[in-house]
Amino acid sequence: MNIEKSISLFERAQQSIPGGVNSPVRAFKSVGGTPLFMQRAKGAYLYDADGNAYIDYIASWGPMILGHAYEPVVQAIRGKAMDSTSFGAPTELEIEMAELIISMVPNVDLIRMVSSGTEACMSVIRLARGFTGKNKFIKFEGHYHGHADSFLVKAGSGVATFNIQAVPGVTAGVAGDTLTAPYNDLEAVKKLAAEHKGTIAAIIVEPVAGNMGCILPARGFLEGLRALCDAEGIVFILDEVMTGFRLAPGGAQERLGIRADLVTYGKVIGGGMPVGAFGGRKDIMQQIAPLGNIYQAGTLSGNPIAMIAGYTLLSELKKNPSIYKELEEKTIYLREGLEAGLKAWGQPYVINQLGSMISVHFSNHPVTDFASASSASTEAFKKYFHAMLGQGVYLPPSAFESWFLNNALTKEDLDKTISASAESLKQIP
């Protein structure tokens, strides 16, 4: 596979961009080698600067749920751009977007648009603190809620990829207000709540973890968190930046039957544009300025190009909820095909999957939290990643990321992936 242009572009990029990339996981440091520079994408395929084609299992880290360059979204963006790319003033489209989201998602009364998932998560923690008058919050080891200071304590995803668990620039005061517990360990959370009784504003959790691979909640775990929050007056926050509008039209709240006080969104909500949102209970959301005194603002919040992209995509998902069944069927087909090859390979493995999220771990024990994800063989994943890449399959370049399927994938694409996996495993001793 010729990647001469990507090599040249990476060398050039390092002269003007820190590490040559604008988001660390793109640098391929976790898997080694040169990152591929993409030129275009269509449907289920990525095309790099050298003209190589790849079956895509990142989907831009989630948002391209119907495939790249989805025609209705592209046309909607083109049309809206003619009216201007930004106003800095309210538009009717923002109302329509809010009404659409509220119509799809259980338990969201009011919603505020922002420009990223990081901004959404940062805002809900401030909101929960202001609403409760408490300062501390609980997050889970290996969960990544964006790069705001307080979230970088024992975070997953890129932080885990680079083995950075104490991040310079995060003060001791900020870290001291961030309490961490292992995911799926309800007793550890109850212990923290007892030790810090009356001081915890919020618990924030990825309902299905996607930043240490795809890791599902244990039976009763989310329900236990909900009950604890109710008992202790703690705001229960679901970070649905990944799962929102991906696992179901109403996200993880609908799919798992769990009720949050506040919820954050990103990825799918913008159809590939930089968008985030947070919403939830009316009595909490009314504390945000200009109704209340908890300040949050953004010059490009509700940007018309981002709004029309997200509105067009979400409208399609609401109109055709069978898309979720199709996506899950494709993901199960892929999982079963991968499992057949892994069994024939004869070495330990774990596959975690829910809906259109899936991950492969080279492990001899269940992967249920950050510790078990970290103990899987990253060396085996590196070999697997590059072997798959060489056969035209683009996986997340980190063992700590979920794969995301898109509905443009065909049975032929899935069969090619399954075959490529079986061949790739032969290259792992």
Pairing between strand 262-265 and 276-280? antiparallel
For 100, 178, 215, the CA distances from 281, given in Å and listed in that order, are 17, 23, 27
144 included as an active-site residue: yes
The closest of 119, 100, 118 to 108, measured between CA atoms, is 100
392-395 contacts, C-beta under 8 A, 24 or more apart? 392/52, 392/53, 392/54, 392/55, 392/416, 392/420, 393/54, 393/55, 393/57, 393/417, 393/420, 393/421, 394/36, 394/46, 394/54, 394/55, 394/56, 394/57, 394/58, 395/57, 395/58
Looking up tokens 């998932």 gives 117
What's the CA gap between 403 and 394, in Å, rounded?
10
Instruction: State the helix-helix crossing angle for 322-345 and 304-319, rounded to 10 degrees.
Output: 80
Q: Which residues pair with 279 in a beta bridge?
A: 111, 263
398: three-class secondary structure by DSSP: coil
HSE value, Cβ hemisphere, 13 Å, CA-based, for 345: 24
- 154 assigned to active site: no
Query: Tokens 């898309």 map to which residue?
Result: 323
- Catalytic option among 48, 239, 261, 413: 239
| CB atoms near residue 168 (< 10 Å) | 6
Q: Which of 267, 330, 382, 383 is catalytic?
A: 267
Neighbour order of strands in the sheet with 357-361: 350-354, 357-361, 403-404
Catalytic residue selected from 54, 57, 70, 144: 144
Sign of the CA dihedral with 186 first, then 190, 195, and 197 last: positive
Rounded distance between C-alpha atoms, residue 134 and residue 151, angstroms: 17
Residues 6 or more apart whose Cβ sits within 8 Å of residue 404? 57, 58, 59, 61, 62, 64, 65, 246, 356, 357
Token pair, residue 13, equals 């990029």
56 has catalytic annotation:
no
Annotated catalytic residues are 144, 239, 267
